[in-house]
Amino acid sequence: MARRAARRVEPLKDLQSSDPLARRAAAEALGRMGERAARPEVVRALAERLRDDEVEEVRVEAAQALGVMGEAAATPEVLEVLTKCLRNKEEGWAVRVAAIEALQLMGPAAAAPEVLRALLACLRDEDVLVLWAAAEALGAMGKAAATPEVLEGLIGCLGDEDPKVRQKAADVLAEMGSAAATPEVIRALAERLRDEDHEIVRPALVRAVVEVGTVALPELIRAITEGSGAVAGAPGEIHR
């Protein structure tokens, strides 16, 4: 008996299939191809799936595929769709995290003002997975994310009542390094070091000061001198 010919896989065409399994498989296949598949028509089709598909798993795969394509997929249309996903708190956490991770993979190319504002807002998100993903994305964008607006927002997060928010804000500043070495940031880090008493936040603050650069050391020393042991162990970390 003759074998049935294997169906030819056409990912771009299959993204428009009425079968959600076919759409999901198509997005996954394009993601495996990475930058090689990042043609304008493919990027647009994936953005449409992320924006419009009624099946969460398809939206997740579309976001992940765009992320793997990196800078080549960081078009204004794609950044707008990704930003709307992470801002939408009615969206499932898996889609929001996938959208944030896509921005992280795009790196500095995704550091548009609207994207940065949305990621900054996510640092105060109730979902800890969203919060952590947003911090990782801002950190991956590095100096490109160190805008006055973002730095001001991170300073605000350093004073948040939630220690997880304070910790991740310090982590982001550490990733930005010397680009974050403004007088306002240095002063905020020093004040937090003087007053901080939470065990998960102190090490993050010390690392932030170290990575921001030696310009911050006088303020740090003043904070240690004026404090009452709140940053015990900090000098040892500085001279690592």
Dist. CA 10–CA 26, nearest whole Å: 8
Q: Scanning the structure block, which residue is given the tokens 């550490």?
A: 174
232, pLDDT greater than 70: no
Query: Could you read off the pLDDT of 16-58 as tens digits, one per residue?
Result: 999 999 999 999 999 999 999 999 999 999 999 999 999 999 9
CATH 1.25.10.10 in the chain, residue ranges: 12-143, 146-240
Confidence band, pLDDT 50/70/90 cuts, at residue 229 = very low
Q: Measure CA of the first residue to CA of the last residue in the chain; give whole Å.
A: 72
> For 81-92, what is the mean pLDDT?
94
Q: For residue 83, what pLDDT is reported?
A: 97
Confidence band, pLDDT 50/70/90 cuts, at residue 214 = low
- What class has domain 146-240? mainly alpha
Q: Scanning the structure block, which residue is given the tokens 């950044």?
A: 79
Global pTM? 0.81
Q: For residue 227, what pLDDT is reported?
A: 54
* Between 69 and 234, the higher pLDDT residue: 69
Query: Could you read off the pLDDT of 150-203 as tens digits, one per residue?
Result: 999 999 999 999 999 999 999 999 999 989 999 899 889 988 988 898 999 999
69, pLDDT greater than 60: yes
12, pLDDT greater than 50: yes
Dist. CA 49–CA 23, nearest whole Å: 9
CATH number at 12-143: 1.25.10.10
6, pLDDT greater than 90: no
Q: For residue 90, what pLDDT is reported?
A: 92
Confidence band, pLDDT 50/70/90 cuts, at residue 8 = low
Q: For residue 194, what pLDDT is reported?
A: 87
Dist. CA 166–CA 208, nearest whole Å: 12
* Between 149 and 215, the higher pLDDT residue: 149
Query: Could you read off the pLDDT of 98-147 as tens digits, one per residue?
Result: 999 999 999 999 999 999 999 999 988 989 899 999 999 999 998 999 99
CB 113 within 8 A of CB 80: no
* Count of other CB atoms within 10 angstroms of residue 218: 11
77, pLDDT greater than 60: yes
217, pLDDT greater than 80: no
